[in-house]
Amino acid sequence: MTNLNVFLQRRARFLAQLDGKAAIIPAANMVPHHADCQYPFRQDSDFWYLTGFDEPEAVALFLPNRSQGEQFVLFVLPKESGIEVWNGFRCGVEDAVNNYGADVAHSIDEFSERLTDYLKGADGIAFRVGKHPKIEPLVMQVWAEQLEHLPRTGSAAMTLAPPCPLLHQLRLRKEPLEIERMREAARISAEAHELARSKVRPGMTERQIQAVIEQHFLEQGARGPAYGSIVAGGDNACILHYTENSSPLRDGELLLIDAGCSLMDYYNGDITRTFPINGRFTSEQKAIYEVVLEAQIAAIDSVVLGQNADGVHMTALRILVRGLLELGLLKGTIDSIIENDSYRHLYMHRTGHWLGLDVHDVGAYRLGDYNVELEQGMVLTVEPGLYISDRLPVPEGQPEIHNRWKGIGIRIEDDVLVDKYKPEVLSQKALKQVDALEY
């Protein structure tokens, strides 16, 4: 478990920037799977970032309008042995203070009645609407009452604003301890990829390889997969979010694996590797693979201070398009093809995203017309790919695709830390050079 001080410092930073607004940050709730069974609990990342508290049905208040010693209030499920014997341990009110550093804690049952008092003197409310269906009506009711009484009391919260721009700007820049945890998530994820590749043989199934990967996550103490593992043989790789993982692995085809673990404290890996199932690329597979690899390496090299996510994408895209032109799979000039989106039937996603407590992590890529510049401590994925199939029409003026190319889907994805002098590839232990994939 991460140390308490880290959360304390985050809360201090958050409180200092709230500018007189009282922030209301709810925890996640349990989500039904079917009948009376539920999905494993997954904490809300904003709530986790500020509290480190891993139970459902809680709410955290951050109150710059109160004096020191009552600015961080936790509402939690109360201890109840009759329920805990079925559903597991609850921290309870007392230990929310003792173990999680809450200034004050209460039972969640007292949330509405106490909120009125806690909001007194706040200039505004920082709360994300549309995301917390159980808590939102309670917040709205308390605020409505406060506005109703405004003529007599003379003060009320006058604005309701989302806390996310502020909170997500904090989350975007990873602290040293978070970077350590992301190295660990990437290490376990990369090892799982190496292990999976060592086991793959024609005739196995995608699902068996999924089992190898996810077993490694669990053995290494991770919570499990960070997202639905994609284990996609042959043409299945051209379905970007393929998670059925139910086909046999065929001799002569490629296998694309997009999988990463989530640690107990929710830091995530997100790695993709693509390699030949029988240990030898065909010449078409190799040609496409080398284009994607060149684009990926160049895009990683472009992850430097002052660059932005769009620049990383454009670096990869220009090399992908150039490669496809050389192979006769596109025609025209690099600039005209990019300008007209004439490559989209072969490359239909962006080259990466922020990575952290969420796999597609929070934080702006653009602020109005301004592209957010890469800074030390940001982590992003770099994941160009090419997907050749019949699913999307060939744009007018572009060449029809010969059958020998079809069913090739390749993506190469690494997790990259922006650092002072050069990028650190957190996932580098998952090999990707052609000669490392052939035997």
**Residues annotated as part of the active site:** 36, 241, 258, 270, 349, 353, 360, 383, 387, 411, 413
Q: Applying CB under 6 A, which of residues 46, 214, 253, 258 lies at the interface with ligand GLY?
A: 258
Regarding 383 and contact with ligand GLY (CB under 6 A), the answer is: yes
- In whole angstroms, the minimum distance from the beta carbon of 427 to ligand GLY comes to 12
DSSP notation for 169-205: HHHHS--HHHHHHHHHHHHHHHHHHHHHHHH--TT-B
Regarding 265 and contact with ligand GLY (CB under 6 A), the answer is: no
Cβ(59)–Cβ(26) below 8 Å: yes
Q: Which does 365 bind (CB under 5 to 8 A by kind): ligand GLY, Mn ion, none?
A: none
Based on CB atoms, which residue is closest to Mn ion, 296 or 381?
Answer: 381
Based on CB atoms, which residue is closest to ligand GLY, 55 or 258?
Answer: 258
Give the HSE-up count for residue 425: Cα atoms under 13 Å, Cβ half-sphere.
Answer: 20
- In whole angstroms, the minimum distance from the beta carbon of 143 to ligand GLY comes to 37
* R_g (Cα) of the chain, nearest Å: 25
Name the residue with the smallest CB distance to ligand GLY.
258
Based on CB atoms, which residue is closest to ligand GLY, 202 or 228?
Answer: 228
- In whole angstroms, the minimum distance from the beta carbon of 241 to ligand GLY comes to 8
Which DSSP helix (H) or strand (E) runs through 146?
helix 136-148
- In whole angstroms, the minimum distance from the beta carbon of 175 to ligand GLY comes to 23
Q: Which does 206 bind (CB under 5 to 8 A by kind): Mn ion, ligand GLY, none?
A: none
Q: Applying CB under 6 A, which of residues 227, 247, 318, 424 lies at the interface with ligand GLY?
A: 227
- The residues, ordered by sequence, that sit 6+ positions from 78 with a Cβ below 8 Å of its Cβ are 90, 92, 93, 107, 108, 109
Closest CA to 313 of 294, 296, 333: 296
Q: Report the distance separating Cα 89 and Cα 328, nearest Å.
A: 62
Specify the 3-state DSSP secondary structure of 119.
helix
Based on CB atoms, which residue is closest to ligand GLY, 104 or 293?
Answer: 293
Based on CB atoms, which residue is closest to Mn ion, 102 or 362?
Answer: 362
- In whole angstroms, the minimum distance from the beta carbon of 293 to ligand GLY comes to 17
Q: Report the distance separating Cα 51 and Cα 9, nearest Å.
A: 11
- The residues, ordered by sequence, that sit 6+ positions from 57 with a Cβ below 8 Å of its Cβ are 27, 29, 30, 76, 77, 108
Helix residue spans in 235-369 (DSSP H): 283-301, 309-326, 334-339
- In whole angstroms, the minimum distance from the beta carbon of 310 to Mn ion comes to 16
User: Which residues in this chain contact Mn ion in the complex, by CB under 5 A?
Assistant: 258, 270, 381, 413
- In whole angstroms, the minimum distance from the beta carbon of 83 to ligand GLY comes to 36
Burial string for 218-247 (b: 16+ CB within 10 Å, else e) reads eebebbebbbebbbbbbbbbbbeebbebeb
Q: Applying CB under 6 A, which of residues 191, 206, 270, 415 lies at the interface with ligand GLY?
A: 270
Q: Which of residues 325-354 bind ligand GLY (CB under 6 A)?
A: 353
Q: What are phi and psi of 370, to 5 degrees?
A: -95, 125
**Burial class of residue 428 in the structure, from the number of CB atoms within 10 Å of its CB (0-12 exposed, 13-18 middle, 19+ buried):** middle
Q: How many residues bind ligand GLY (CB under 6 A)?
A: 7
Closest CA to 212 of 203, 225, 202: 225
Query: Residue 283: left if φ>0, alpha if ψ -120 to 50, beta else—which one?
Result: alpha
Regarding 365 and contact with ligand GLY (CB under 6 A), the answer is: no
Based on CB atoms, which residue is closest to ligand GLY, 55 or 415?
Answer: 415
Based on CB atoms, which residue is closest to ligand GLY, 34 or 241?
Answer: 241
Based on CB atoms, which residue is closest to Mn ion, 57 or 383?
Answer: 383
Q: What are phi and psi of 79, to 5 degrees?
A: -65, 140
Which DSSP helix (H) or strand (E) runs through 136?
helix 136-148
- In whole angstroms, the minimum distance from the beta carbon of 244 to ligand GLY comes to 15
Q: Which does 227 bind (CB under 5 to 8 A by kind): ligand GLY, Mn ion, none?
A: ligand GLY
- For ligand GLY, the binding residues (CB under 6 A) are 227, 258, 270, 353, 359, 383, 413
